Homo-oligomer: A and B are copies of this chain.
Amino acid sequence: MINKKLEMACRCLRVLAHPTRLLIIQALISGEKAVQEIEKEVGASQSSVSQHLTLLRDKEIVSARRAGPQVFYRLQDPKLSQLLALARELFCKE
């Protein structure tokens, strides 16, 4: 009953289902940002943000580009904002 695709979708959803990671994704909807900027926006520690970004990268939800000492992250698929909008509609009623 439980196949590979279902497992993968679950793992991706689970990676989305974390407050800090949702904030990171929210921050990236307006465009790519360096880790430092993300840290400030979401208000989490360097290590924490880096680890969350690793999880998001592993699931190919975000991708990274190095520019000198900085690493810029961006969303892989703009459909992600649709997913977040739907989640808001469904789960943030009134």
- Report chain B residues within 8 Å CB of A88: 5, 9
> For the complex, is A71 an interface residue (Cβ under 8 Å from B)?
no
Closest B residue by C-beta to A26: B6
- Looking at A14-22, A45-53, A62-70, the stretch in contact with chain B turns out to be A14-22
B43 adjacent to A19 (CB under 8 Å): no
Query: Copy number of this protein in the oligomer?
Result: 2
The interface size bin for chain A is: 35 or more
Closest B residue by C-beta to A4: B92
Chain B's nearest CB lies how many Å from the CB of A82?
Answer: 6
Interface residues of A (CB under 8 A from B): 1-2, 5-14, 16-20, 22-23, 41-43, 59, 77, 79-80, 82-83, 86-92
